Amino acid sequence: MKKYILLLFISLCGFSTFACDICGCGVGSYYLGLLPEFNKRFIGLRYQHKTLRTHLGPGGKTSYLTTNETYQSAELWGGWNLGSKFRILYFVPYNFNERNSVETKGQKSGLGDIALMGYYNLFSSRNTVNDQLLVQSLWVGAGVKVPSGKYEPRDRDVLTESPNNFQLGTASTDFTLNATYDIRLMDFGVNVNTNYKINTANKYDYRYGNKFTTNALAYYKIRIAKTLTLAPNAGVLYETSAKDIESKKFAVDVSGGYSLAILTGLEANLKRVSFGVNYQAIAAQNLASGSVSAGNRLMIHTSVAF
């Protein structure tokens, strides 16, 4: 049974070979780090800040026009445990997009695409190893993203040689496969999250490329008092996307690619209240065949369990 579980988890991670939008920005990024500590339910807010720089010229050539884009989101998120085996997570983002270049400037804000994810606890265990407590769990599941954010086809028609990222939503119903594994020996632990996003074509015949995201975090719990726990953490985040498809058959050159980021963060739990900050420093990338570069990212979150 244990061998079967391990093979299943490895197979989920193997989706990376299939490589939506430019990694980590624009209209779709489902980074999931360390969840707040909760027994039944939690609700909270997440703030994310991301940037892109695009260098494009006539025919897609680089070094002609530089465009700087900033993507910010304030996101309502939460979780609900249904007994000991089932868990639901939800994400309701409100996006703030900004684009600046020598020739154009633009801003847009509004509701983004709402996502819902369901998980099943494949196994959980608590054992003693050399008088030390070893705790581990594996959750697997699937999710759906609904087209609640506004998509403006005119932006794609006018800026055909730029990534189709400057949207509040994708106008498509998309699906995710998810897995979360956590193992902890006393106060030291490792957390791994994997997400594969399957995108469908919207009514404008544009389909964002499928996207694979995985991150691994090592953390250490420091108990300051009976009610306060700090968990500094560090790790890596890898994202890869296939190219977008236009008119059902044409691959979009200024799309797809991969990025690798180094993660550092801190989580704090005070009774029922949690707070966290996460910084993602880009270590390597190749986005849109080298014409796009992603900047470092920041995420801050707070939540309350009830």
Indicate the SS3 state at residue 15: helix
pTM of the model: 0.86
Query: Is 160's pLDDT higher than 80?
Result: no
pLDDT at 20: 44
| Across 155-164, average pLDDT | 72
pLDDT tens digits for range 98-144:
999 877 788 999 999 999 999 999 999 999 988 899 999 999 999 99
pLDDT tens digits for range 35-73:
887 889 999 999 999 999 988 654 444 445 788 999 999
Query: Is 161's pLDDT higher than 80?
Result: no
Which domains, ranges and CATH numbers included, belong to the chain? 2-305 (2.40.128.130)
CA dist 62 → 23, 42, 78, 160, 245 (Å) = 19, 46, 42, 14, 21
